[in-house]
Amino acid sequence: MEFKKEIRTLIWIAVIFSAAFFLPIESARFNTAIDATLDLVKWYAREHVILCLLPAFFIAGVISVFVSQGSVLRYFGANAKKWLAYSVAAVSGTILAVCSCTILPLFSSIHKRGAGLGPAIAFLYSGPAINILAIILTARILGLEMGIARTIGAVAFSVIIGLIMSIIYRKEEKIKKEEQMNIQLPPEKRPMWQTSFHFFTLVLILVFANWGSPAKDDTASVWYYIWAYKWYFTGFLSLLLAYSLIKILKIKWVWVLIAVAVTAASGFISSSLIDNAKLATLVPMLTGIASLSVITLLDKNEDENKEWTISSWGFAKQILPLLALGVVTAGFLLGSTHDGQTIPGIIPNEWIQWLVGGNSFFSNFFASVVGAFMYFATLTEVPILQGLIASGMGKGPALALLLAGPSLSLPNMLVIRGVLGTQKTVVYVSLVIIMATISGLVYGSIF
């Protein structure tokens, strides 16, 4: 046994040494891929972690701590009415407006609270896929028929994939159903409307803080005005959150007032000292999250408040390392595309464009696979596809990528594997890719 262990160690040393020895640093393509990796990591850290993931961890913490197990079981549990469970899960994306990574802590929360596999998978897919903002942008930029096809496909996918997963793993679901029938649930600690108010306040803060900028020539639409005043909306919602902390969570009003004052002061200071407007907005958000963490951890009136932040930290520890690994891998292989610039990865973009032209089975399948592994932040898939279509990408593969891409990514898959295990993750990813391929073929043949 000891000998085998030493052999494995020797093999790892040999592999790492060989990789270092033959490192192709003289290759322009390799160096460009390294640049793309670092660029994507930097962009992800600046644009996504503080504004998207950190609030999402606290939302997941609300589900884990404040949303009673009875409520989760009532709407998502193995004994819940299927039409209700799948209906709620399928439309969740219209409320959440999150990306494939931000949905992960929320999915992990409802899964741990006892949600049935089918409704949980429907929720996992629909969260990023049925983003109402992305669907509107798709219809505006890529055409009304593409927007309608994406909507129908995303809703159908979430329900069908959830049902298939529940059928494949019906034995496990039957056991879970029997266990849940015997669960003695404690009485609700507070009315559901109070928990819902607290939860949706955090969700709306997440939505408005990440509201995407409109098209360059758009200066009069509702989208533009919401974007122009999004931080006013976010500020107002933050005051509602302060009210919720005092009235619902019973945190001392003095502590909450100090947290609000510190957060507001950080916003004024950052806007004065930091020239970059995007970076300036990160300071008050980070300050607000830090203040929220401190006042909940120090609160001695309600143990749940401390548990909320500890639970949120638990989701962060579970998810962030895997996301980081996935972002690095995706950046190196597929490159970095954002803010109108593209840095190619080790796989040339020209290959991708060449492979997804027309409407063959292979082009749709390849688009589904590339979309599944590539990371798309919320709304970025639309301008990326606009460029690919202009370069010759077929409409069928474009829809296939739209249906597979936003709901999956390599970072997303790594985290799902940690929650569901390898087998269920492979089945889920395969179902998404197969259904996206078929949908692309059908759509491409019609249009």
User: Tell me, what's the pLDDT at 221?
Assistant: 80
Please give the torsion angle defined by the CA atoms of residues 231, 233, 238 and 242, in that order, rounded to the nearest 10 degrees: 150
With 90 as the cut, is the pLDDT of residue 239 above it? yes
State what percent of residues in the chain have pLDDT above 70: 85
177 or 25: which leads in pLDDT: 25
Q: What is the pTM of this model?
A: 0.69
| Between 414 and 342, the higher pLDDT residue | 414
- Find out whether 182 and 38 touch, Cβ atoms under 8 Å: no
439 — pLDDT class (breaks 50, 70, 90): very high
Per the model's pLDDT, the better-predicted residue between 378 and 198 turns out to be: 198
pLDDT at residue 396, rounded to an integer? 92
Contact between 391 and 342 under an 8 Å Cβ cutoff? The reply is: no
Q: Which of 194-208, 209-223, 385-399 has the highest mean pLDDT?
A: 194-208
Residue 101 to residue 70: CA distance in whole angstroms: 27
Distances (CA, A) of 300 to 366, 380, 445: 55, 43, 63
Q: How confident is the model at residue 188 (pLDDT cuts 50, 70, 90)?
A: low
Distance CA 201, CA 52 (A): 15
pLDDT per position as a tens digit, 338-347: 776 778 788 7
Amino acid (1-letter code) at residue 252: K
**pLDDT value, residue 261:** 95
Top pLDDT among 317 and 237 is at: 237
Q: Is the pLDDT of residue 67 over 80?
A: no
Q: In whole angstroms, what is the distance from residue 100 CA to residue 381 CA?
A: 12
* 132-175 pLDDT, tens digit each: 656 766 776 677 788 889 888 888 888 899 899 989 988 887 77
pLDDT interval class at 70 (50, 70, 90): low
The strand pairing partners of 342, in sequence order, are 337
Q: How confident is the model at residue 238 (pLDDT cuts 50, 70, 90)?
A: very high
Average pLDDT over residues 236-247: 94
Q: What is the mean pLDDT of residues 409-424?
A: 86
* Tens-place pLDDT, residues 356-377: 878 889 999 999 998 888 777 6
What pLDDT sits at residue 407?
Answer: 83
User: Can you give the C-alpha Rg of the chain in angstroms?
Assistant: 23
Task: Please give the single-letter amino acid code of residue 236.
Answer: F
Q: Which of 19-28, 110-119, 254-263 has maximum average pLDDT?
A: 254-263
Residue 181 CB burial class (10 angstroms; 0-12, 13-18, ≥19): exposed
Task: Out of 41-55, 84-98, 166-180, pick the least confident.
Answer: 84-98
**Dihedral sign, CA of 66, 124, 160, 112?**
negative
Which residue in the block uniquely carries the two structure tokens 């963490």?
A: 293
Q: Residue 216 is which amino acid?
A: K
HSE-CB at 100 with a 13 A cutoff on CA atoms is 29
Considering the chain, what is the average pLDDT of its residues? 82
What band does 233 get if pLDDT is binned at 50, 70 and 90?
Answer: very high
